């Protein structure tokens, strides 16, 4: 699910309009070596493929617009925002999944994703779907560092990690799956106390990332998840579910407060990417961004996602839809989100 994900006057609305040369000059100036990705389905490129879970999409029409129309396990018709960011920075055309059996040694220094669809900050959330927890993602990262050291040498491996950007994008599943749809945590916490619980977990994991070498962190804020086609259908609302969106806004405020304190105390350069306003504006003014449909997904009837999308027909022009399925964005929408993340990163770096 969603939750989420990442130059000043160098940027306009779409990634293809970026001044790539200037962007890469900034990246080179600050020795940005690669991107390491942690999170949920918003940034999972296929780590769930070999898990015993229904939170995987290694089948068509997912990947319909990926290279060679190949379903990789990305919850999208094409590339994710993280892929587009890495490409814009000149690292790689797409970020591979760490658990991809075809991952090569040559790919290791260029960035890897440990993200898992269905995961969250709350350790209970991934248990509900049998997916990879954030603690397990960090365990895989430690394993990755050892492998990287064998490939490029320990000194260079340490330099790559230190100069990398860590990106963290998750949270939606904690609220939707773990609090509202399956009200496990709502029996234990008020929504405000549950947000505090998640912020505490987030702080713990960011400290763990820092201990593993993270010195630059892009923290992707929550999207207005009350606007997803799935939530609209479940709640029977014509427009967005405002109560859910208020939760997202409140949680974003808590994330920003945490990072303002935690970042400096750890010595981490942090870059908060606020996608809430961008996504909300796109949904309410789709024509402004080149879209024609923002209330339903492109797959099937527009209310399917995951296994229920398997083998279904899709809308003819995916570039005109904000949502690919009932939960996840199209590649075209991810282009807009990736621009926002790059803007945050480069503006902060200066």
Residues with a known catalytic role: 41, 325, 328
CB 297 within 8 A of CB 323: yes
DSSP-derived 3-state class of residue 113: strand
DSSP-derived 3-state class of residue 1: coil
Q: CA-based diameter of the chain, in Å? A: 57
Cα–Cα–Cα angle for 7, 13, 15, nearest 5°?
70
DSSP assignment of 165-229 equals: EEEEE--HHHHIIIIIIS-SGGGT--HHHHHHHHHHHHHHHHHHHHHTT--EEEEEPPP-GGGSH
Least Cα distance to 234 among 180, 175, 157, 185 occurs for 180
Cα–Cα distance for residue pair 343/12, rounded to 1 Å: 10
DSSP-derived 3-state class of residue 37: strand
- Burial degree of 101 (CB within 10 A; 0-12, 13-18, 19+): exposed
> Under 8 Å CB-to-CB from 246, ≥6 apart: which residues?
none
> Under 8 Å CB-to-CB from 238, ≥6 apart: which residues?
232
DSSP state of 276: H
Cα–Cα distance for residue pair 18/25, rounded to 1 Å: 13
């Amino acid at each position: 699910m969603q939750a989420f994900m990442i130059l000043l006057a160098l940027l306009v609305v779409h990634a293809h309009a970026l001044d790539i040369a200037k962007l890469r000059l900034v990246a080179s100036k600050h020795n940005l070596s690669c991107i390491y990705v942690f999170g949920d389905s918003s940034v999972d490129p296929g780590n769930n493929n070999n898990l015993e879970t229904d939170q995987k999409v290694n089948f068509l029409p997912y990947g319909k617009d990926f290279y060679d129309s190949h379903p990789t396990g990305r919850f999208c018709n094409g590339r994710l925002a993280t892929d587009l960011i890495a490409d814009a920075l000149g690292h790689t055309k797409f970020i591979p999944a760490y658990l991809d059996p075809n991952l090569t040694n040559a790919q290791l220094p260029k960035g890897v994703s440990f993200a898992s669809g269905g995961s969250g900050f709350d350790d209970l959330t991934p248990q509900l779907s049998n997916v990879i927890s954030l603690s397990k993602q960090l365990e895989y990262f430690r394993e990755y560092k050892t492998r990287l050291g064998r490939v490029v040498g320990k000194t260079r491996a340490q330099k790559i990690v230190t100069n990398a950007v860590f990106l963290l994008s998750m949270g939606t599943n904690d609220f939707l799956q773990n609090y509202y749809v399956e009200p496990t945590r709502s029996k234990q916490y008020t929504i405000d106390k549950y947000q505090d619980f998640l912020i505490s977990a987030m702080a713990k994991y960011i400290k763990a990332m820092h201990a593993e070498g993270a010195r630059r962190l892009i923290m992707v804020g929550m999207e207005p998840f009350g606007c997803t086609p799935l939530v609209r259908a479940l709640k029977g609302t014509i427009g967005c579910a405002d109560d859910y969106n208020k939760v997202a806004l409140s949680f974003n405020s808590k994330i920003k407060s945490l990072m303002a304190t935690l970042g400096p105390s750890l010595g981490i350069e942090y870059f908060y990417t606020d996608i809430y306003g961008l996504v909300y504006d796109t949904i309410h003014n789709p024509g402004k961004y080149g879209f024609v449909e923002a209330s339903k997904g492109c797959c099937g009837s527009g209310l399917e996602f995951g296994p229920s999308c398997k083998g279904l027909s899709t809308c003819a022009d995916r570039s005109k839809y904000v949502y690919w399925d009932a939960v996840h964005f199209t590649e075209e929408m991810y282009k807009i989100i990736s621009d926002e993340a790059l803007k945050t990163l480069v503006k902060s770096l200066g």
